A and B are shown apart, each in its own frame.
Chain A
Amino acid sequence: QKEVEQDPGPLSVPEGAIVSLNCTYSNSAFQYFMWYRQYSRKGPELLMYTYSSGNKEDGRFTAQVDKSSKYISLFIRDSQPSDSATYLCAMMDTGRRALTFGSGTRLQVQP
């Protein structure tokens, strides 16, 4: 079983929809939780970063971490065609200093 599980999609939504992307994990030592966005044939770019449990909001994006359920989410409000990309969750424990990634969810926002 992988340490981090992520539904690969693809997820197709109409423009303006609210998008929910999720990851589950098994390693209780993870303390740092990140979401990266990756456009086709590009490198991943950091979107959101959360330490431990709780919510974090940045514009149209909200990241949630529920450590008791080992479950993290990324919500995108008022989705735009420019949000079409692959979204990767990533996690890190304080000891290793290396990221463990989910396999990524491909999102397509239809105009």
Chain B
Amino acid sequence: IAGITQAPTSQILAAGRRMTLRCTQDMRHNAMYWYRQDLGLGLRLIHYSNTAGTTGKGEVPDGYSVSRANTDDFPLTLASAVPSQTSVYFCASSDGTATQYFGPGTRLTVL
């Protein structure tokens, strides 16, 4: 069982470019989340989805969009990347309890 996979592992991106971070889970969890982790700030919620077909905004949603076409996939898109979006991005899922399971992360650098 893979759990949660994220792609790419790392990426260097020019400012202004569009980028989609991929997240796939095989646990059939209804809820999925995107966080960014920055030094000194911990993990901050970007967007979430309680079930396929629904999404919601987290603490820091500006500049990001998500979609949830099915249970397994939850891509995060940066429409026009800016240097302040340089961060490590984690996808997580939950079976409806308070427990969340995290993927390995995507390390993104925007120049």
Contact = CB atoms under 8 A, between A and B. Distances in A.
Contacts of A36: 102
B72 to A, nearest CB: 18
Contacts of A18: none
Interface in A75-94: 88, 90, 92
B41 to A, nearest CB: 6
Point out which of B90, B102, B104 has the most chain A C-beta atoms below 10 A from its C-beta.
Answer: B102
Contacts of B42: 4, 6, 88, 101-104
A45 B102 contact: yes
B41 A42 contact: no
B33 interface: yes
B111 to A, nearest CB: 21
B70 to A, nearest CB: 20
Given A99-B45, A103-B41, A103-B42, A46 B101 contact: yes
Interface residues of B, number: 24
Contacts, number: 53
Contacts of A49: 98-99
Nearest to A91: B98
B8 interface: no
Contacts of B99: 34, 46, 49
B74 interface: no
A44 B45 contact: no
Contacts of B4: 43
Contact of B102 (A8, A44, A92, A97): A44
Contacts of B44: 101
A32 interface: yes
Nearest to B50: A97
Contacts of A43: 4, 90, 102-105
